[in-house]
């Protein structure tokens, strides 16, 4: 997964330093989370948007299954979606946008590690803490809706894990790329919100891919939106397979390359404008 860091190859020693710094990064992330207990509660609560969607689909399928999705299927689908969304969450677009606009990127560029690579690892370090948040939530869900418990085949679980890692990389890379737009446009965040609206519709976040009209899902199935969230979910519940995972890997490569090129040009522009 190291090759996903958009600028990793630019500062070859950066990633190495970071691997060794992982324990420290880890501790910083822990201390950061612990210092703000109230925020932890907030994380738990804001992880529940898929449940809002579940309520809608639940009500819609009360009279009978829709396109093969019954109430239990929807419950499973959105529970897994919630988990994957937590595991693949990142914040690099906000951070990068802020750093570019405020000029605080400049001191970061003087460090031996590429700031983007640093963020990538920081994001990784936060994942176990997100899981802490998820466990009680999942336990509560199982009590509330026992029908969400299901046993996928072993190979699906393995592919699921790979697919989550790829989804993490795609999601992070897409955010990094939108963040880099800040080098050129003041309103990169506005563009990102437009992207988010599209993303929530085509990623499976609010509508399962199988329920989109045929021709739309035929296209959306191969787009990065889906690669960043829906693929692992559908893999686990048996509605996607290896071709979709291969597409995810393809997107990681394409986005990493695009990110590298953008980063190089962006930094040049940043230097020229003088921030």
Binding site for another protein (CB under 8 A): 27, 30-31, 34-39, 42-43, 45-46, 48-49, 52-53, 55-63, 66-67, 185-187, 190-191, 193-194, 197-198, 200-201, 206-207, 211-213
CB of 207 to another protein, least distance (A): 5
How far apart are alpha carbons 254 and 86 in whole angstroms? 24
* Cβ proximity of 252 and 169 under 8 Å: yes
CB of 257 to another protein, least distance (A): 27
CB of 84 to another protein, least distance (A): 17
Q: Rg (Cα) of the chain, in Å, rounded?
A: 19
How far apart are alpha carbons 258 and 224 in whole angstroms? 13
Task: Please give the sequence-ordered ranges of beta strands (E in DSSP) within the chain, or none if there are none.
Answer: none
How far apart are alpha carbons 89 and 210 in whole angstroms? 23
CB of 264 to another protein, least distance (A): 25
**Nearer to another protein by C-beta: 34 or 219?**
34
**Nearer to another protein by C-beta: 2 or 102?**
102
* Cβ proximity of 96 and 7 under 8 Å: no
How far apart are alpha carbons 60 and 42 in whole angstroms? 29
**Nearer to another protein by C-beta: 114 or 203?**
203
Please give the torsion angle defined by the CA atoms of residues 163, 166, 170 and 176, in that order, rounded to the nearest 10 degrees: 140
Eight-class DSSP state of 69: B
**Nearer to another protein by C-beta: 165 or 206?**
206
CB of 161 to another protein, least distance (A): 26
**Nearer to another protein by C-beta: 12 or 213?**
213
**Nearer to another protein by C-beta: 34 or 157?**
34
CB of 127 to another protein, least distance (A): 17
How far apart are alpha carbons 156 and 84 in whole angstroms? 15
Residue 85 burial (CB count, 10 A): 21
CB of 129 to another protein, least distance (A): 11
**Nearer to another protein by C-beta: 22 or 246?**
22
Which has the closest alpha carbon to 130: 83, 163, 176, 187? Answer: 83
* Count of alpha carbons within 13 angstroms of residue 144, beta-carbon side: 10
Tell me the three state secondary structure of residue 66.
strand
């Amino acid at each position: 997964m190291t090759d996903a860091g958009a600028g990793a190859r630019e500062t070859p020693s950066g990633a190495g330093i970071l691997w060794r710094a992982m324990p420290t990064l880890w501790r910083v992330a822990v201390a950061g989370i612990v210092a703000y207990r109230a925020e932890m509660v907030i994380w738990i609560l804001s992880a529940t948007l898929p449940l809002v969607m579940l309520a809608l689909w639940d009500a819609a399928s009360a009279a009978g299954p829709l396109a093969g999705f019954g109430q239990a299927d929807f419950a499973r689908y959105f529970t897994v979606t919630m988990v994957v969304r937590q595991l693949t969450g990142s914040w690099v677009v906000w951070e990068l946008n802020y750093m570019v606009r405020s000029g605080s990127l400049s001191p970061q560029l003087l460090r031996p590690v590429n700031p983007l690579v640093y963020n990538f690892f920081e994001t990784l370090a936060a994942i176990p803490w997100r899981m802490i948040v998820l466990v009680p939530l999942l336990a509560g869900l199982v009590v509330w809706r026992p029908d969400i418990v299901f046993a996928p085949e072993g190979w699906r679980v393995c592919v699921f894990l790979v697919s989550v890692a790829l989804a993490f990389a795609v999601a992070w890379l897409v955010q990094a790329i939108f963040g880099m737009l800040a080098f050129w446009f003041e309103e990169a965040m506005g563009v990102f919100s437009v992207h988010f609206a599209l993303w929530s519709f085509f990623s499976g976040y609010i509508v399962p891919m199988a329920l989109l009209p045929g021709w739309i899902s035929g296209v959306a199935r191969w787009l990065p939106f889906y690669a960043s969230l829906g693929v692992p979910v559908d893999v686990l519940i048996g509605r996607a397979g290896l071709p979709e995972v291969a597409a995810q890997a393809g997107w990681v490569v394409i986005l990493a390359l695009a990110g590298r090129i953008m980063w190089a040009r962006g930094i040049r522009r940043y230097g020229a404008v003088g921030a």
